[in-house]
Amino acid sequence: MLDQLVKRAREQRVFSREDTPTERRVEAAFLYHLGLSYRQIGEWFGHSHQAVHEWYTALADLFEPEPDTHGTVVVDDDFVSSTTTKCTSGRRLIATPTR
C-alpha cells in the first residue's frame, strides 16, 4: 500500500525536491493518518512537527478514497417498491420498503 502511495506522490509531483526521500514523507503522513501526533512522528523521523504537518497536508488527497463514479444502486424488487419522479437535477428514484 505504501508503495502505491509513493508512486502516486511521484506521478503527481507532490514534492519538488528530494531532500527527504518521498518514501519517508509518505510513511510519516501514513502514521499521522493512523492517529499518531505530528510531534511524535517528527521525533521518530528526526524532523520538526511542522515538516510532518506540511508533508501530510501535501499528501492528504492521496488518503481519500476514490469517488464512486457509477452512481448505481442495486435494489431487490421483492423487498422494495419504487417510483420515479422528475426533479430539477434529473430523475430521482424513490424507494420505500414493502414490508
**pLDDT surpasses 80 at 69:** no
Which residue would you say has higher pLDDT here, 42 or 96?
42
pLDDT tier at 99, thresholds 50, 70, 90? low
Determine the Cα–Cα distance for residues 97 and 99; give it in Å rounded to an integer. 6
pLDDT confidence bin for 80, thresholds 50/70/90: low
pLDDT for the residue 96: 63
Give 4's DSSP letter.
Answer: H
Q: What percent of the chain has pLDDT over 90?
A: 39
Scan for cell 452512481, then name that residue. 71
CA separation, residue 93 to residues 17, 66, 89 (Å): 50, 24, 12
